[in-house]
Structure 1
Amino acid sequence: MSKIEFTGINHLALVSSDMARTVDFYQGVLGMPLIKTIELGGGAGQHFFFDVGNGDSLAFFWFPDAPTAVPGVSAPAHRPDQGPITSAHGSMNHVAFGVSADRIDHYVEVLRAAGVDCTEVANHDNSEWGISREVTDDVYVRSIYFTDPDGISLELAAWTQPLGPDDVSHPPRDASGAVVA
């Protein structure tokens, strides 16, 4: 018997600086249906939910007095093709939405037609740098990176092959960088 029987991710809650702009981007540009809206008591803000498929949701809080984001701390300062993607411990680095592998090349055009600055499709493989110019048998996921109006890092990702036991081959490192056996 497992400790907890997971069925997926119910929702991931992020923080928006402008809920109207967030709804315009996620519903209007990306096409995610808005499925639940909540006004928080005492004027504390709002909490909205978008359907991302398979019963999963992406949620946003809007707080009228929330501190401003700090790129490079609360989130990456860059897209992967523009500079370092490091963010602080405990931060959310990016959200990757699953898409069909046979449509991912088309989605670059869809995003750009909507005025969204995005990467070309990245072919992630098992090479030293983790990326291939070509789609090879070693490519395990293809993805596109972009940001929302608040600078939240987003990814459209398409698995290209099933993962197996050989895909778990690196030991974890502790805070000092030492391998934990």
Structure 2
Amino acid sequence: MNNSDPKFEFRGINHLALVCSDMRRTIDFYSGVLGMPLVKTLDLPDGLGQHFFFDCGGGNTLAFFWLADSPDAAPGIAAPKGLPDQGELASAVGSMNHVAFAVPPEKFDEYRSRLKAEGIAVSRVLNHDDSPAGVSREVHAGTFVRSFYFQDPDGALLEFACWTREFTEDDVRHEPKTAADRRATSVR
């Protein structure tokens, strides 16, 4: 689909900002394990913390705050508790559920193997499709993206994903749910 007269001209994601507990460990993971160059570092005023940026390709960056007064992680609230293939997908409204990095389809399996060799726990490969289960064991004509998931040292859910086909008008056909459709969960 092509919008020839967009309301705004978007050029991707400038940066997505997450919060980490240990900036050194974050650099070791994102630059060391994933190979994202650290491109900008800032100390925030008044001892508030730090803000560092990693190049994640295509002119996009992934940024992290280290904040002196950050609350502890809240798995299952601020981010999923685990990996989607283990039934962990829920996170709170307004949270960041996961970050999906676009990777070349021809390198997809190699990248999964590399992460496993680094000792990173990775999910099984998910071939996302329009079936009732939402995934299939094999890639087929209805598969639109292949992906696998893993977590960073602070538990942020990450995904390596590659599109397998172009979208058509038929790919936008579901009626959007509203706040009234949510299942209310009570805190016990």
TM-score above 0.5, yes or no: yes
The 2-side partners of 1:94 and 1:69 are apart by 15
Q: What corresponds to 2:106 in structure 1?
A: 102
Q: Count the aligned residue pairs.
A: 178
Percent identity over the alignment?
57
- After superposition, where does 1:4-15 map in structure 2 within 5 Å? 4-15=8-19
Letter in 2 for 1:140: F
Stretches of 4+ aligned residues off by more than 3 angstroms: none
- After superposition, where does 1:94-173 map in structure 2 within 5 Å? 94-173=98-177
Q: Which runs of 5+ in 2 are unaligned?
A: 183-188
Q: Does 1:174 align with 2:178?
A: yes
Q: What corresponds to 2:31 in structure 1?
A: 27
TM-score of the aligned structures, taking structure 2 as reference length: 0.92
> Which of 76, 80, 92 is residue 96 of structure 2 equivalent to?
92
Say if 1:123 and 1:139, in contact at 8 Å, map to a contact too: yes
The 2-side partners of 1:14 and 1:36 are apart by 15
Say if 1:75 and 1:87, in contact at 8 Å, map to a contact too: yes
Letter in 1 for 2:168: G
Question: Which digits, 9 at most, give the CA deviation of each residue in 1:48-95, with x for residues without a partner?
Answer: 000011100000000111000111111111211112311000000000
The 1-side partners of 2:153 and 2:162 are apart by 23
Letter in 1 for 2:98: H
Say if 1:104 and 1:121, in contact at 8 Å, map to a contact too: no
Say if 1:123 and 1:141, in contact at 8 Å, map to a contact too: yes
> Which of 73, 77, 96 is residue 77 of structure 2 equivalent to?
73
Q: Which runs of 5+ in 1 are unaligned?
A: none
Q: CA RMSD in A?
A: 1.1
More helix by share: 2
TM-score of the aligned structures, taking structure 1 as reference length: 0.95
